[in-house]
Amino acid sequence: MRYPLIAPNPPRLSDHVDALQRVEASGHFSNNGPEVRAFEAAATAQLFDGQGACLAVNNATLGLMIAIREAAGERTAGCYALMPALTFAATAQAALWAGLTPLICDINPADWTASAEAEERLLRDYGDRIAVLLPYATFGTAIDLDRYAWLQREHSVGVVVDAAASLGTRDAGGGGFGAGAPFAVVHSMHATKTFAVAEGGLIHSGDTDLIARLRAMTNFGFEANRSATLFGLNAKLPEVLAVMARAKLAEIDTVCDQRAALEHAYRTQLKGVAFQQAEGQRRASQFMPVLLPEAVAHRRSEIAAALAAVGIGSGQYFSPHLGEQPLFQRTATILPTPVADSIGARSLSLPVTDAMTIADVAVIAKAFNRILARETRSAARPRQHAVASLLIVGGGPAGTALLTAASKRGRLPELAALGLIVAEREATLGEGRIGRYAITSDSTAETFLSAVRDNPHPELAALVDHPTGQAVGHYIGALGVPLVEVGPFVQATGHRLQTLVAQHGGTVLTGHDVLGTTRVAGGLWSSRMRRRADGHEFDQLSSAVAIATGGHQPLDRLAAQRVGGVSLVSEVGDRLMQSDEALALGGPTKIIDLLSTKRNPKIVVIGGSTSAIATIVLLLKTASLPLGAGAITLLHRRPLRPFYPTPAAAQAEGFTDFGPDDICPVSGFVYRLAGFRLEARELVLRELRVDGRTPDPRLTVHQVRGDDDAVARAHLAEADLVIAALGYRPRALPVHDQDGRAIALAAHQGSAMVDRHCRILDASGVAIPGLFGIGLAAGFVPWGRLGGEASFSGQANGLWQWQNDVGAMIVDQVLGDGARAVA
């Protein structure tokens, strides 16, 4: 016998011909007709103890959208909907459609609902920027609605409850879950739910005026006549579906009682698993969620396959959770979610259907217990991991750039076949943090597309015409690409690179941290790996390791920084922000909040890097910042240099502040590495008054000279906000020698992490065999045929370089060593 995870059991229309003929005879097929109204009244009486009112909608997601929009009121732009990580994508999607940013928090380890501690902390920290609380009644459980009513009053915040799986659930007092709630409680009637219709949703509230407003919103916002007065759309339930809903209502108590008995049998007969803490007298069980032991969580897919082999369906709800899904990683604010990470990774759902009996549960439980016991015994045995040729630590823009460089030369299959492993802590390759910044790139659209255009692998070349590639291509000829548009494209590229690596024998380990690497016998490296889902650790041997973990702005850099003769932290510590925070999505909103009480705010930006100029460009483009003349001051040490394609182009505009050492001998570019490009270049050209350009009156530029600069000190003293753009330092992986002693790296001393061959240097400047570095803050400076002006000093961070010569340099060394080893 086969046991599907879900077996939809909506009422059969063929059994309700009389009702269908009644609909036909009425001539009323939608627009809140008699069948819909009769269902709403009956549901209110039967499921919600006659309290308040109900509103039937076309589906629960539309119900969430209008309820969230109504609850938010005028608070949308720059405001949040606070929700737990462990829920379905529709919850966050509805918030986005309602104009809010999802604010994703962790969950309670017992009942798997939103953490009360996290909710209350965030309400204090974010204040009225949280427009709506959006709790989820996880798997049909009965959450404490009295508490949310109190939070609504205490914080003047909107509340909408996502109760998609709860229609038929009874609370601790025996009442219908949601009965009389002062806010909207949104249920689903999808065919896969316990209250199975075909499609549909039901909103309940004890506030009949609220239901009346929501009803108008489901009808294009028409409160009277055909004139829109509210935000609205078409979310009305058709009459035919209402016929099915009325039929389901007649049997729902019997259905829920039978499913509750199945759940009780599971809890009695399953062994070795953990269960969700039960809340309420009866849950409208859609399926039976359990938690696998941590030791076998990484074998979840194998357990599911073994169950399928004996005819038992299973599911993994909700894995990945909201915080692990690419869209919400780009569009939401995600707090640390260690509990949701663990529960999502360990969850497995077993069948609960209307056709099942207690005897069926016994069959499923016996098979499950046998499979779990076998996997538990297997997990206790030590694992052996083969030797890889190369372990790439980090699958963000730099790590995938290395793969791109190999693919463009047709060497990716060769690299993968020799034993390539890519370890990335996030759920997907490619994006890293690039899509989480509010600025425009300092690389052109053409540069991003060059990673795939005419690539030898057709699946990569096709990305030029992919929707994400077309979105980037829209900015060809423009001054860069918004990084929020770049994020999806590099993620799509990463996904196809991952597929190619796997097809040719390599391995991609997403959701894995690399804790450190140690030199072992035979010149190999043993890297300690940790699977983030369950904390499982293991060691991976490789001939080489490429560190592509990106850069950060360390706080200790600020502690030691002096500007104009004064300590930055001691002088302006309470008014200090790092540029990385300012440039991130949500950064401008934070700045607006910080300066909201200042009539004529003064902002100082410190640094002469691209991030410093990008910060100023972003501030000048933020319309809601009241910036008057001289509102922003840039304090920098090195002269500001614009990029030019040729010396003749520079001279044609009257820019002559360069010499022979400032011209790249390979490309002929002026300030190829040191020069600002795109939007930053335009701002610098204005400040330098090149070719008659006029400086922006809102910006003052001051070059700091020496440690006793009174002008710089005066600007710092007057500033309401100081943004430090002092560059990035690499996230250098802990490295140990064969005796287990930590190897001090050049990066730890503030020097470049790598040499001219991308080899990682120790503190004495000696290259460490088999260790390579690439990416932001690695410190590589192009040389020889790679080009670059002789006068350049500092860091060269260029995606095009990583995807071409720099990445190829590492690939060639690894493959050369691999070929020698095979010989």
The model's pLDDT over 717-761, given as tens digits with 9 standing for 90+, comes to: 999 999 999 888 888 899 999 999 999 999 888 889 999 999 999
Task: Determine the topology of domain 388-431+490-552+730-822 in CATH.
Answer: FAD/NAD(P)-binding domain (3.50.50)
User: What mean pLDDT, rounded, does the chain reach?
Assistant: 92
Domain boundaries, the chain: 17-252, 254-379, 388-431+490-552+730-822, 555-640+676-727
Cα(269)–Cα(195) distance, rounded to whole angstroms? 26
pLDDT given at position 820 = 46
Cα(663)–Cα(682) distance, rounded to whole angstroms? 20
| Average pLDDT over every residue of 758-776 | 94
715-737 burial: b if 16+ Cβ within 10 Å, else e: bbeebbbbbbbbbbbbbbbebbe
Task: Determine the topology of domain 17-252 in CATH.
Answer: Aspartate Aminotransferase; domain 2 (3.40.640)
Q: Is the pLDDT of residue 818 over 70?
A: no
Grouping H, G, I as helix, E, B as strand and the rest as coil, residue 10 is coil
Q: Is the pLDDT of residue 664 over 50?
A: yes
Q: Is the pLDDT of residue 787 over 50?
A: yes
Under the banding of pLDDT at 50, 70 and 90, the label for residue 817 is: low
Please name the amino acid found at residue 658. F
**Span of 132-146, 497-511, 721-735, 783-797 with lowest mean pLDDT:** 783-797
Under the banding of pLDDT at 50, 70 and 90, the label for residue 377 is: confident
pLDDT given at position 385 = 55
Q: Is the pLDDT of residue 822 over 90?
A: no
Under the banding of pLDDT at 50, 70 and 90, the label for residue 795 is: confident
| Token pair of 580 as six digits | 């990385």
pLDDT given at position 181 = 98
Structural contact between residues 2 and 311, judged by C-beta atoms closer than 8 angstroms: yes
pLDDT given at position 46 = 97
pLDDT given at position 722 = 94
Cα(635)–Cα(704) distance, rounded to whole angstroms? 6
The model's pLDDT over 256-273, given as tens digits with 9 standing for 90+, comes to: 999 999 999 999 999 999
Q: What angle do CA 210, 212, 215 make, to 5 degrees?
A: 110
Please name the amino acid found at residue 743. I
Q: Are strands 347-350 and 288-291 parallel, antiparallel or unpaired?
A: antiparallel
The model's pLDDT over 82-119, given as tens digits with 9 standing for 90+, comes to: 999 999 999 999 999 999 999 999 999 999 999 999 99
| Average pLDDT over every residue of 636-660 | 95
Under the banding of pLDDT at 50, 70 and 90, the label for residue 467 is: confident
pLDDT given at position 823 = 39
Q: What is the CATH number of domain 555-640+676-727?
A: 3.50.50
DSSP state letters, 670-736: BTTTTSB-HHHHHHHHHHTTGGG----TTEEEEE--SS--HHHHHHHHH-SEEEE----EE-PPPEE
Q: Is the pLDDT of residue 351 over 70?
A: yes
Cα(274)–Cα(593) distance, rounded to whole angstroms? 44
| Average pLDDT over every residue of 617-635 | 93
Q: Is the pLDDT of residue 614 over 60?
A: yes
Structural contact between residues 416 and 456, judged by C-beta atoms closer than 8 angstroms: no
| Token pair of 556 as six digits | 């200790």
pLDDT given at position 624 = 87
The model's pLDDT over 570-598, given as tens digits with 9 standing for 90+, comes to: 888 889 999 999 999 889 989 999 999 99
Cis peptide leading into 220, omega within 30 of 0? Answer: no
Cα(479)–Cα(680) distance, rounded to whole angstroms? 9
| Average pLDDT over every residue of 458-478 | 92
Please name the amino acid found at residue 194. T
DSSP state letters, 531-567: ETTT--EEEEEEEEEEE---EE--HHHHHH-EETTEE
Same fold, 17-252 and 254-379: no
Q: Is the pLDDT of residue 516 over 90?
A: yes
Cis peptide leading into 320, omega within 30 of 0? Answer: yes
More confident residue, 69 or 564: 69
| Token pair of 349 as six digits | 């759902």
Q: Is 367 exposed, middle or buried (0-12, 13-18, 19+ CB in 10 A)?
A: middle
Task: Determine the topology of domain 254-379 in CATH.
Answer: Aspartate Aminotransferase, domain 1 (3.90.1150)
The model's pLDDT over 284-339, given as tens digits with 9 standing for 90+, comes to: 999 999 999 988 988 898 999 999 999 999 999 999 999 888 888 778 888 878 89
| Percent with pLDDT over 70 in the chain | 98
| Average pLDDT over every residue of 699-725 | 92
Nearest to 811 by CA among 390, 505, 431, 491: 390
| Percent with pLDDT over 90 in the chain | 76
Cα end-to-end span (Å), the chain? 56
Q: Is the pLDDT of residue 382 over 70?
A: no
pTM listed for this prediction: 0.66
Q: Is the pLDDT of residue 821 over 60?
A: no
pLDDT given at position 381 = 61
| Average pLDDT over every residue of 144-171 | 97
Structural contact between residues 66 and 218, judged by C-beta atoms closer than 8 angstroms: yes
Residue 359 half-sphere exposure toward CB, CA atoms < 13 A: 2
